[in-house]
Copies of this chain bind each other. A is one copy, B any other.
Amino acid sequence: MIDLRLDEEQQLIQDTVTAFASEQIRPAAHEADETGTIPASIIDKAWELGLIQASIPEEYGGYGQSQSAVTGTIVAEGLAEGDLAIALHALSPRLVVDAVLHLGNEQQKKSILPRYCGEKFAAGSAAVLEPRWDFALDKLDTTAKTDGDGFVISGHKCFVPLAREAQDIIVYASDDNGVTGAFVVQPDTPGVEIGEREKNMGVRGLETYEVAFNDCRVDGGARLGSDARPLLRRARVAQSAMAVGVAKAALDYSLDYAKDREVFGVKVAQKQAIAFMLADMATEIDACRLVNWEAAWNLDQSNDAAREVAMAHRYASDTVMSVTDNGIQVLGGHGFIRDHPVEMWARNGRGFATFEGLASV
């Protein structure tokens, strides 16, 4: 029977995450964007919430709680509502954990997962995007050619988060048959060349790098499963949830501003042009969330959900841009000033149409 509510456990997780986001993450968001650094203390506190360890079975050191994509979207949205860069940083271990849990064999799980169950935060990473204007998931330039009992990975990646400190990087490359495969690579593997830290329009708090794979050789055990596209769909669902979180942040902020600020003798929010704009923003955010939940729910039913995910991803990417842009408009001149976070959310929001494999549920 149709039921579009969170269950009690999910509700509990949402409350925890949003509380953490507003109390711990949001206050640090502006400075992280301006300075490009995220206080380690926040990442450590986030780690203590156990959001990563929860989904890892006990035999590998985790809490062995059920791993639901829907729950993953709730976590992603909640943290991203606080700040996108910090959310991506804090959830980066999932890039590895989720990949291994879904495609890894027993051996791979045993060897990799425990690294992400320790006392302290352990960064994970994924290398998906490539520096070309027409990047497309089904046309990766990076290749992984079979070489004896292993693979040789060659190609350039960009927007690789935390490449320097990551325990593992999941590298997406096209195999001998042109199938997109996922390969677990450690940053110190010979042939892995981590470039300068990137400068992007948004998510400035997050460390991302260009990474070159120069005939980087990995053994056969590095490959996770066969077709890695399901992982990229999970990433899109997580990113769409984060887009909803960013949009939600912009709505709430501009809503408060409009109720507080006066124009022509009344509150800005009492003007239909602004009030109806806020109404549309709220409606679109709710719609995006529901559409994305359905995509996530389909993944939890182990449906391939290619269609649902593509729709949710596209919808969320467009919506977060228009909502954050409207947020700036509601603030008028003040929306253009960095003292207010709305322009940052617009810069961050614009990224979702480009981001691939930056998070997972």
Contacts and interface: CB of A to CB of B under 8 A. Distances in A.
Contacts of A273: 272-273, 276
Contacts of A271: 272
Copies of this chain:
2
A345 B39 CA distance: 60
Interface in A271-289: 271-273, 276
Interface in A82-130: none
A188 to B, nearest CB: 54
Contacts of A272: 271-273
Interface string A37-49: 0000000000000
Contacts of A276: 273
Interface in A227-283: 271-273, 276
Nearest to A276: B273
A273 B278 CA distance: 13
A49 B276 CA distance: 48
Nearest to A272: B272
A271 to B, nearest CB: 6
A205 to B, nearest CB: 37
A30 B273 CA distance: 34
A276 B275 CA distance: 13
A332 to B, nearest CB: 15
Nearest to A274: B272
A273 B273 CA distance: 6
Nearest to A271: B272
Nearest to A273: B272
A183 B273 CA distance: 54
A271 B275 CA distance: 12
Interface of A: 271-273, 276
5 contacts: A271-B272, A272-B272, A272-B273, A273-B273, A273-B276
